[in-house]
Each structure stands twice: as structure tokens, then as C-alpha cells.
Amino acid sequence: MRGPPASVGIQALDDSLLLRIMSNLDLTERLAGPALVCRNWFQLCMSRNLLQDLTVSLADNPASTLPRLRSLLVWLLRHAAAPRSVTLRLWHGDAAAAAPPQSGESAAEVVALLNSCATACASAERLTIVHSAHYIPNGWVVAQRGLREVRLRSRTRLHLLTTWEALEALQSLELTASAIVLAPGAALPASLTALTLAGDRGPHLPHQVGDLSNLRSLQLRGVTYDAGGFEVLRRLSSLQQLQLDRCRLPACLPALGSIRSLQLSGCTAGQGGEGELAAGVAAALRRLSQLTALALVQLPPVACRTASMVALRQLQSLTVLPCSNADGSSSTGGCRIAPLPSGMPPPPWPPGLRCLTAPFALVTASLAWLSTAHRLSQLRLTDCPSASGIAPAKWLAFFSWAEAHAPLVRLEFAAAPPQHAALLGKACARLAAKRPRLHLVARPPGQLPALAPQPGSFTHAANKA
């Protein structure tokens, strides 16, 4: 009779499994733990596979920051030939916040050590530096000519003093800080194709942005630029994708004739209120007839229902997600406004529309108009198509429309809560039986679909219908 199976410890795992486990730890965690167990584990921690993606997090009392950074620099000079992706995080937690602030000399040395650590990673293609204080990038800006992606984040200030033109391979740049300052001589590399600026409390975009002749994608998040502070956008002749998140609507937006994808999320019109915002959105859409993807997210319903959308003859992807409170009313900046509108903009729909993302209530109120969208192949509901809170006739009409709309090849929605799962499951089973080629996708509850997919990701089966 066999006894109980012998227990298997972690030491019995082969090296490939141990590497997978250790890959979930950043460098400081590996060196402080597994690397001290035995010689084999130390060698695994130093393996080239793990050093390809190097993450170092230092979040401690300021008194220990300098010696730890010095030790890190020595280690990187010995072992940092392998990393392709490097992330250096220097965040101070609650204990550091209560500690005495660093002196000016100590703060300057911290920045110098961060820059030296970045410079030591000579083969890096992606670099992320996260610093809780004022950060001035230097050194690696000239030395790291192979960098393709850079992300710099600070809680206070990012100050670019020198030119970045030596980074000829750099394609993507993110700058996040409450103050983003570019000195007059701090030219950005002409190779940039994607730029993100976030949190900047200045009055206008840095003028160097207008010199980026190859820039195709621009994302602005939580910036406080004036409506007239976006004028440098007029000089971006290659700009194709523009995402504005929690910022003012640019006065020059109607003049940006090169953009193909536009996302407006939580935008405002300053002190003008929702009426002025709606007028600004309408004026822009009347001029931006070349758009192929449009997302209007967390805007007042009056701004999401502009009739100017019918002029977008090339539009293929449309996302409409008005801001709303739990009681069904909407608000912008704390001001309550009318309930959500009962339907989408009046017909005719843009004839090229292939993908629609919208709340279930807006879709069910617009079925008559959606039936004329003969190329609509993807419908992505931002919530669950449950029968709760909607007239039974409208609920049934939606699934009847889905059965009859032959071009539809993908229906995406949020999964139903337990009390509605059975009824929705039956409706989906019937729909699947009627349309076996229709792809039904249920997302986890509360998860929103990605906004404004690019036309290249669309399913073109509708063209054969």
C-alpha cells in the first residue's frame, strides 16, 4: 500500500519555472530575496532573460535614497548591458513625507544619480523615469541614441534644459508633471511620431511641439491650456490622431484638417458652460469632414447629439458616451442639466459607419436610424443589455434588430448581474442560434471597451453583404 506522496518544495522546480516566478519581481525585490538563497538562484536572478526588462523601485526614507542610488549605479555599470526596457521609480511614501526635506545639494545629487543610472543602460530602447520631485533629464539625452520610447513622470516639475535632437531613433515620448518646462534651446527630436503631455498647469502648449513635422499622434490629459493656447497645433501637418482628455476645447480645432481620429473626453469650454461647448464641438465637426474615428466621452448630452455628425461622410468608428449620474441626469462641472436624450442624432447616419460604441439606452432609442447603417458590422455596448429599466417592447426590438441586421458580425456588451443573467442568457442563445456567425463578446461587469478603434481593426465582412 502506497503512502502519501512526498511533498515537493520550490527547490525541486526546474530553472525555467523559477525564472517565470522571479520575473514577477522587480530588480530590488530579486536582489533582496531570491538572490540570497543560493548560488544557483543568484545566477538566475542575473540571467539575461530577466534583465531584458529591468524595473527598479526605490520608495524609502530620503536618508537612504542617496546610498541606494549609488549602489544601484555601481550594479548597473557591471550588469546593465542586457536591458532593452528600463524603469526607474523613485517615489517617497508616507514615511518620507514626514521626514525632513532633502537639501538642495542632496536633491541635485539624486537627479544626477538617476541620470547616471539611465546613461549606464546603454542598450535600452525603452526608458521610464518616475520621480516624486523636480526632475531635469540630462546625460542620457545625448548618450542613449538607441532609445525609441521615453516616459518621464514627476509629481512636481519636469524641466528640459538641453536639446533632444541626438535621440534620432525616439518615436514616442510621454511627459507627466504639474509643470512641464522646455527651455528655448530644448528642441525635441524630429523623429517623434507620438507625444503625450499630462498634468501641465501652464497656459499654452510648448512652442517646440509645433516643430514636430512627423508627429502623427498627440494626447493631452488634464492640462490647463487656454482655448487659444493650442495654436501650435496648426503647424502639425502630419497629425492624424488627437486625444483631448479633461482639458479645454481648442479654439483652433476646426482648422486641424489632417486629423483622422478625434477623441474628446471630459472637455470643457472654460467658463462658457455646456452650451458653448456644444457649439464648439458642432463647429469643429462641420469642418472636420475627413474624420474616420470619433469618440465623444463624458460630454454633456447636448454636445454628444450634434447634428454636425451627419456631415462626417468618411466616419467609420463612432463612440458616444454622455456624462451621467446614477439617477440618469447629467452634470458638467457640478452643474445639473437635462436627463440623457432619448435617442441618437437624427438620420441620415454617416454612410460609412462600421463600428458604434454607445450605452444600451441610446442604442434602443435609435434602432430605426441604425437600421439604415448598412455597413455597421460592430456594435459595442458600454453596459449590459438587460431588460431592467427599459420597456419590454424596446428590449425585444433590439434583439430582433440584431437578428435582422445582416452586416453585424460582432456584438460586445458588459456581462449581466446575477439577477438578469438568466434572461439575457436565453436572449443571447436565441440570437446565436439565428446568427451562428455573429461573434458575441461579454466583458466583465464595469469594464468599458477601448475607445475609438482605428479603421484598420474593423471587420470588413460587411462589404460582402
pLDDT of residue 450: 73
Instruction: Give the separation between CA 296 and CA 321, rounded to whole angstroms.
Output: 6
Phi, psi of 456 (to 5 degrees): -65, -20
Instruction: Give the separation between CA 153 and CA 90, rounded to whole angstroms.
Output: 10
Q: Which of 158, 122, 156, 157 is nearest to 139 (CA)?
A: 122
Instruction: Give the separation between CA 40 and CA 27, rounded to whole angstroms.
Output: 17
pLDDT of residue 133: 87
DSSP-derived pairing of the beta strands 149-154 and 317-321 = unpaired
State which fold the 195-341 domain adopts: 3.80.10
pLDDT of residue 85: 87
User: Residue ranges per domain, the chain?
Assistant: 195-341, 359-448
Q: How many CB atoms lie within 10 A of CB 28?
A: 17
Grid cell 530575496 is found at 33
Q: Which of 175, 210, 216, 176 is nearest to 192 (CA)?
A: 216
The C-alpha cell at 36 is 540570497
Task: Show the CA angle centred on residue 102, arms to residues 101 and 105, nearest 5°.
Answer: 150
CB 465 within 8 A of CB 407: yes
pLDDT of residue 60: 54
The one-character DSSP state at 81 is T
pLDDT of residue 104: 59
pTM summary value = 0.83
- Between the alpha carbon of residue 297 and those of residues 32, 126, 219, the distances in Å are 45, 31, 15
pLDDT of residue 72: 84
DSSP-derived pairing of the beta strands 329-332 and 335-339 = antiparallel
Instruction: Give the separation between CA 352 and CA 421, rounded to whole angstroms.
Output: 34
- Between the alpha carbon of residue 95 and those of residues 63, 99, 101, the distances in Å are 11, 6, 12
Q: Give me the average pLDDT of each 10-residue run along the chain (465 residues).
A: 58 72 74 76 73 75 78 80 82 49 70 90 89 89 88 93 91 96 92 96 94 96 94 95 96 94 92 86 91 92 79 89 56 36 52 88 83 89 83 89 94 87 90 93 81 47 36
Sequence letter at residue 332: T
- For residue 293, count CB atoms less than 10 angstroms from its CB and return exposed for 0-12, middle for 13-18, buried for 19 or more: buried
The C-alpha cell at 154 is 514627476
pLDDT of residue 346: 44
The SS3 of residue 277 is helix
